Amino acid sequence: MKLEQRHARAVVAKLEQDVKQANADADMYARAWERELAQYDGKIRNKRHHIDAMVCTTRDLIAKLKAAEARICEMEVQQHEYQR
């Protein structure tokens, strides 16, 4: 029985170590994502859950990018028409 208990404790210890490493990895990815998003204007959406804040901020930035690209396209068309 003691051998089984030692084995079980070793397995639990290994699993706890794996969980800590997985959490550290997830935190590293989240911090990197947040750093990249914050470079635009330094703001991250205020949401209850960090993942929601990151997703909403990403969506906001994509929407701003699409609007800017549409405006650039519109200006290029206007410039082309002006040059005629």
Q: What is the pLDDT of residues 8-56, one digit of tens each?
A: 999 999 999 999 999 999 999 999 999 999 998 889 999 999 999 999 9
Joined together, the tokens standing for residue 81 give 């028409």
Joined together, the tokens standing for residue 75 give 């200006």
pLDDT of residue 58: 96
pTM of the entire predicted model: 0.71
Joined together, the tokens standing for residue 30 give 């989240």
For the chain, the structural domain boundaries read 2-83
- What is the distance between the alpha carbons of residues 62 and 73, in angstroms, rounded to a whole number? 16
82 pLDDT above the threshold of 90: no
68 pLDDT above the threshold of 80: yes
44 contact partners, CB below 8 Å, separation of at least 6: 34, 37, 38, 53, 54, 57
Average pLDDT in the 54-62 region?
Answer: 95
